[in-house]
A and B are shown apart, each in its own frame.
Chain A
Amino acid sequence: MLWLYLHFPCLQLDSLYQADEQLPVAIVHGRNSDVLQLNQHALNAGIKKGMGLGSAAALCHNLQVIAYDEKQEKNKLSQIAQWLYLVTADISLLPPNGLLLRVSHMLSLYQGLENYWQVLQQHLDKLALTYQFSSGYSPYAARLLAVSGTNQLTDDQHQLHRLLNPLPLQVSELSRKVINHLNRVGVQSIGELLRLPLSDIARRFDIELVTYIGRLQGQLKHPVDFYHPPEQFKHYLELMFEISNLEYLQKPLLNVFRLLEQFLQFRDKRSGQLNIELHLRDADSVHFQVHSAEGAYRAKQWLELSQLTLESIKVSAPVVAISVEAKQIRANDFSMMDMFSKHCGAISANELVSRLQAKLGKNKVHGIELVNDHRPELANACCPPLQKPSQKKSLVSGHSSLRPSFILPRPLPVTEKINIQHGPERIVAGWWDKHPVIRDYFIARTPNGQWLWVYRTPAQQWFVHGLFS
């Protein structure tokens, strides 16, 4: 069985958002402060892997130092697995920075190793990561070759053996104690280890080494857990710099939205809501939601909508990271557009509503609907915009009497002289719920010519309730 191992030597460095790529960056292990990962500028300055932080800082005065975070690498790794899952089936995560792919089962689909690798490589390159790779006839062999930077993909068993043999034992997964033990008896490389008869090794060493050799040669079964992708999009992006002006968030947000776009596009889905979290320095993070009534998948659309919401958001501290989560992922149903109608708008009604709601707030934009009630303040209700009316159409004909065009949200006492023109129309309702109404409604005209809808209560109080505009 042929395996492919992908090793990501500087995963955390690659997952950083680097706005200004001119600066040397080093990722340093938290405890013993060794340099683990570094970018090209840091390399040019003479810094090497494994160097202490002190000497690294001495070599380069403007070195940006970031603490190593294994959890972040693991997250990134599962993101990569999710991405690769689109082109290859069997993926196993080997945290913190390795992926193992089972190649043999994919070869009949891609018709050959070269085609497979070409597709995979093109797909992987979109993430812009540094990686080392190698194939092997066992997971251990593939890993050994990849970590040592072989970068060879072949199914030639002899060649793989030739590549494997000279590798030193130090790169293997064997414990330091076993390696020292082997070194002392004169075994320095993998090749020398494999040349020894297995029965002799079993006599002198423990069972671990025997299993290792058996798995390395593919003679023993190597159980592997394969990855199953979650059907959700959740992305965490750490910013290279703290951002206090929210306008500058556009670029990093666009990066995330591009990934979202690809995620949705491949599944032919669109999302109706994004939960965005701005992680602040030394303060509680800010959450906000961006809605799209129609559902959107394009990065540009999401950026536009989130920008409108961002305008009204204030942060108390600089933003250090953002995370984006897509919700309400649903199938892509394209709205029909009339090609021949003259005014082909750039956006649809749903899109307009989501744009308005993003800027003004969800409760500021609404539709109206009829409710089967005689009380005027209840007969007209707000509803979500563009909602299809539910079988209430028949109710319209029931209202034969004239109704004002605007109902005042709160009835106002009548303060001026009015002439009653029509009426009364008595409305007695609501004794069954907690809002009883006994009113005589009149249509009245003020001397200025305004047409009002007024009512009289049983206590002979007069109120204006509507305007006939």
Chain B
Amino acid sequence: MVLVLMNKLIKDLQHRHLVWHGGVKTPEPDLESSGYFELDQHLNGGLVKAGAIEILTETGIGELRLLLPTLTAGSERLLIFINPPGNVSAVMLAAQGIDLQDVIVITPDKEKDALWSAEECLKSGTCGSVLLWLDQAIEIHQVKRLQLAAEKGASRVFMLRHKRYETLSLPLDLSISLCASPSGIDAQINKRKRGWPSKRFHIDMRQHWPTLTLGKIPDNLVYFPTSKVS
């Protein structure tokens, strides 16, 4: 009798996705290299190809530079800027090899419309990446909607927000906070699906962006990707 009840209870819980199966392995999602060695290492290979990614950062410390290799690697799909902090510079994007024809900038009046347009873009399947600058706290159901839309359209949304809006329990694929650092950027993984949060680590940008980092790289230094041999 108890067994029957237990079975029923477990079935009920399974039905509501509240039971974690140790034996069942969900397939690893497609990862794509971020273009920065340190970040790839901490993310076990790179950023997810489809999903919702939160980036907590100040504006102008190099957050877009961190994402640029990922954005340019995208196929011929659209790149969407929603609510950018200024006029998106065509000169800079073109210099990075982005086809300007594939760039769309959306500047809605209301935050609600920004979320709506992000969702539409994501689920359309025509957009590779959507960059969404948000200036308010975001709720769980909104993130969930974005995530489902991203999965449907196999696209990625980067939500760039200020640190003061940080909330812990959002169903994100990845949440990174960024800090400025003289020779690049300091990152910390707050949350990651199929992985653990990390301590703060440094991403060196001196090779990619020599002008926008402090401290010259010595001429005689040779970088070798695998750091620990012994």
Contact = CB atoms under 8 A, between A and B. Distances in A.
B124 A345 contact: yes
B64 A405 contact: yes
Interface range on chain A (Cβ under 8 Å from partner): 35 or more
A467 interface: yes
B106 A404 contact: no
A347 B124 contact: yes
- Size class of the B contact interface (CB-based, 8 Å): 35 or more
Interface in B41-66: 58-65
Contacts of B62: 451, 468-469
A467 B60 contact: yes
Nearest to B68: A405
A452 B58 CA distance: 13
Of the candidates A355, A356, A381, the one having the most CB atoms from chain B within 10 angstroms of its own CB is A356
Nearest to B108: A360
Contact of B91 (A343, A360, A380, A421): A380
Nearest to B75: A341
Contact of A367 (B61, B85, B101): B101
A399 B95 CA distance: 8
B104 A367 contact: yes
Interface string B82-125: 00111111111111000011011111110001001100110111
B78 interface: yes
Contact of B60 (A343, A381, A382, A450): A450
B181 A449 contact: yes
Contact of A380 (B61, B88, B117, B154): B88
A448 B58 contact: yes
Contact of B85 (A352, A379, A406, A421): A406
Contacts of A405: 64-65, 88-89, 92-93
A368 B103 contact: yes
A196 interface: no
A359 B211 CA distance: 41
A184 B93 CA distance: 95
B125 A360 contact: no
Nearest to A349: B126
Contacts of A342: 154
A449 B211 contact: no
A355 B123 CA distance: 13
B73 interface: no
Interface string A350-385: 011101100110001111111000001001111001
Given A352-B121, A408-B87, A466-B89, A345 B153 contact: yes
Contacts of B59: 450, 467, 469
B212 interface: yes
B74 to A, nearest CB: 12
A389 interface: yes
B93 to A, nearest CB: 7
A352 B119 CA distance: 11
Contacts of B217: none
A450 B125 contact: no
A402 B208 CA distance: 13
Interface string B197-219: 00000000000000110100000
Most buried by A among B91, B95, B104: B91
Given A349-B78, A404-B89, A449-B179, A364 B100 contact: no
A346 B125 contact: yes
A448 B180 contact: yes
Contacts of B153: 343, 345
With a 10 A CB-CB cut-off, give which of B78, B86, B109, B127 has the most chain A CB atoms.
Answer: B86
A148 to B, nearest CB: 59
A409 interface: yes
A403 interface: yes
B100 A370 contact: yes
Contacts of B88: 368, 380, 405-406
Nearest to B178: A449
B93 A368 contact: yes
Given A345-B124, A451-B62, A443 B211 contact: yes
Contact of A450 (B58, B84, B91): B58
B116 A346 contact: no
B35 to A, nearest CB: 16
Contacts of B61: 448-451, 469
Contact of B94 (A370, A382, A385, A467): A370
B191 to A, nearest CB: 23
B89 A367 contact: no
B101 A387 contact: yes
A344 interface: yes
A158 interface: no
B60 A451 contact: yes
A408 B86 CA distance: 5
B126 A469 contact: no
Nearest to B84: A406
Most buried by B among A381, A388, A422, A451: A451
Contacts of B94: 370, 396
Contacts of A387: 101
Given A380-B87, A386-B104, A396 B125 contact: no
A352 B155 CA distance: 14
B180 A364 contact: no
A407 interface: yes
Contacts of B181: 449
23 contacts: A345-B126, A349-B78, A349-B124, A352-B78, A352-B124, A359-B117, A364-B108, A368-B88, A368-B90, A370-B94, A370-B100, A385-B104, A396-B91, A404-B89, A409-B86, A421-B214, A422-B211, A443-B211, A443-B212, A445-B214, A467-B59, A469-B63, A469-B64
Given A370-B90, A405-B64, A405-B92, 8 more contacts: A370-B100, A380-B89, A388-B101, A405-B93, A407-B89, A467-B60, A468-B60, A469-B63
6 closest A-B pairs by beta carbon, nearest first, are A449-B180, A345-B125, A406-B86, A469-B64, A450-B60, A343-B154
Interface of A: 342-349, 351-353, 355-356, 359-360, 364-370, 376, 379-382, 385-389, 396, 399, 402-409, 421-422, 443, 445, 448-452, 466-469
